[in-house]
Structure 1
Amino acid sequence: MHVWTAPAGDDQRSAAKELLLELAGSLLERTAVLRHEPSGRPYVDGLAVSLSHSRSLVAVAASATGPVGVDVEDVYPRDVSGLARRWFDPSELEWMAGEADELTAFLQLWTAKEAVGKALGLGLRNTGLRRRMPLPAPVQPEHARRGLALPAGLVSSEPSLTVLHLPVDQQAVLAVALPAAATEVLLTEHHGAALRRTVRSRTSFPVVVRGI
């Protein structure tokens, strides 16, 4: 599975579409054409794809081996307690209450729900917000210093899918949903400065991070 990120710029939608087509074209080695299923889920012939954007960041994902979903949300001060109480499972609310940073905890769950909904082609329709997500494990200080991805977890209601939170430089939370049998995630950050680093999540597969 490939995930690319880039600064959003002034037109986030166009930036996300252009980045997705560039990613798909690099994988297919031909010009990619973005299409949509009747449900609205995007696809490129030969690839499962997904895209997301916030005010500061665009994120796209593509895979030739199974459904994918990606979601990104900016981290900025806001009250999320009402949304959480309305939609989240009691176990998720309990986990949030125990986290030092309630907003980031909320966004980890929200982006996971969005990513899974996109992978399923349903979005947040059909009780997508109520779909219980695997709870992120605590990140140890050494993992935070090394920029490791948060551990993946199987989605209990969709055991063919797993969710992973990937590290990004910006103040944002990025989640991807991918087949549980996936063996590698390659994250490429486009930011105009040469940077290459390799990190591994606490799962059975590596997350390789490249900067361009």
Structure 2
Amino acid sequence: MIAAPAPTLANVAEHLRDDEIHVWRLDHQQSRGRAPLRALLATYLGIAAEQVVLAEGEHGRPALAAGLDPTLGFNWSHSGGHALVAVGRHVAPGIDLECLRPRPHALQLARRFFCAEEAAALAALPEAERGAVFLELWTAKEAVLKALGRGLAFGLDRLSVASADGRLQLRRLHGDDAGAWQLQRLALGHGLIAALAWRGGERRIRLGTLASDD
């Protein structure tokens, strides 16, 4: 990953390559809604933020409205006061972010919603480690579902993810070839867990941070 400081946003956006996905980390305030997302996308589109119109997909995934650059794909996620935005060309990225916090019922949730093998792997871990690994699996699954343009109603047990040696692997995806997918853990630190997914070949991930407007 290549860190990109906030002042270089316009330059980085201008040079977005087809073999890259840019991931921007920014502060999130519920009161601002999607305004920061529109401002970021406007830089990539080369237009004013008020000209960025978003449409809702069948399952709620935001997309650029008709008339805007159809090659630009994006997705975003927020948790607490943090947000991530993934942007790429000729790709539909999915990204998910969660704040790390105690999950005393992680194993029960995994047994209810995850695949049997995922729940078994979680059960084999020391209890103190289960919350973080549960969130790693959860964010990975969410990222894949977002890239698919689907929601949780698709079924978290219809895809299988493994987490080992600092890497994520999509092992099974109902109705699709899991081997055609890329799944990446994003190293953010500071109690945050995030994953990025897309269908297609490998791409370079450029991770940057945008300064707060406050």
TM over 0.5, shorter chain? yes
Q: CA separation of 1:82/1:12 partners in 2, compared to 1, >3 Å: closer, same or farther?
A: farther
How many residues are treated as equivalent by the alignment?
A: 177
Give the corresponding residue for 2:122.
96
Of Structure 1 and Structure 2, the greater helix share is in 2
Give the corresponding residue for 1:20.
37
- Contact 1:12/1:55 (8 A) holds in 2: no
- Contact 2:107/2:119 (8 A) holds in 1: no
Q: CA separation of 1:54/1:115 partners in 2, compared to 1, >3 Å: closer, same or farther?
A: same
1:123 counterpart = 2:151: yes
Q: Which runs of 5+ in 2 are unaligned?
A: 1-20
Q: CA separation of 1:91/1:38 partners in 2, compared to 1, >3 Å: closer, same or farther?
A: closer
Counterparts of 1:170 and 1:7, CA distance in 2? 13
- Contact 1:96/1:106 (8 A) holds in 2: yes
- Contact 2:170/2:183 (8 A) holds in 1: yes
For residue 94 of structure 1, report the CA deviation from its aligned partner: 2.3
1:156 counterpart = 2:156: no
- Contact 1:12/1:58 (8 A) holds in 2: no
Of structures 1 and 2, the one with the larger relative CO (CA 8 A, separation 6+) is 2
CA-to-partner distance for each residue in 1:49-108, whole Å, 9 max, x for gaps?
211111131112122221111111111113222211101112112222344510010001
Counterparts of 1:77 and 1:121, CA distance in 2? 29
**TM-score in terms of structure 2 length:** 0.74
Q: CA separation of 1:180/1:134 partners in 2, compared to 1, >3 Å: closer, same or farther?
A: farther
Counterparts of 1:96 and 1:13, CA distance in 2? 37
Letter of the structure 1 residue corresponding to residue 62 of structure 2: P
1:50 counterpart = 2:80: no
Counterparts of 1:163 and 1:13, CA distance in 2? 30
- Contact 2:186/2:195 (8 A) holds in 1: yes
Runs of 4+ in 1 over 6 A off after TM superposition: none
State the superposition RMSD in angstroms.
Answer: 2.1
Q: Which runs of 5+ in 1 are unaligned?
A: 140-150, 193-212
- Contact 2:147/2:199 (8 A) holds in 1: no
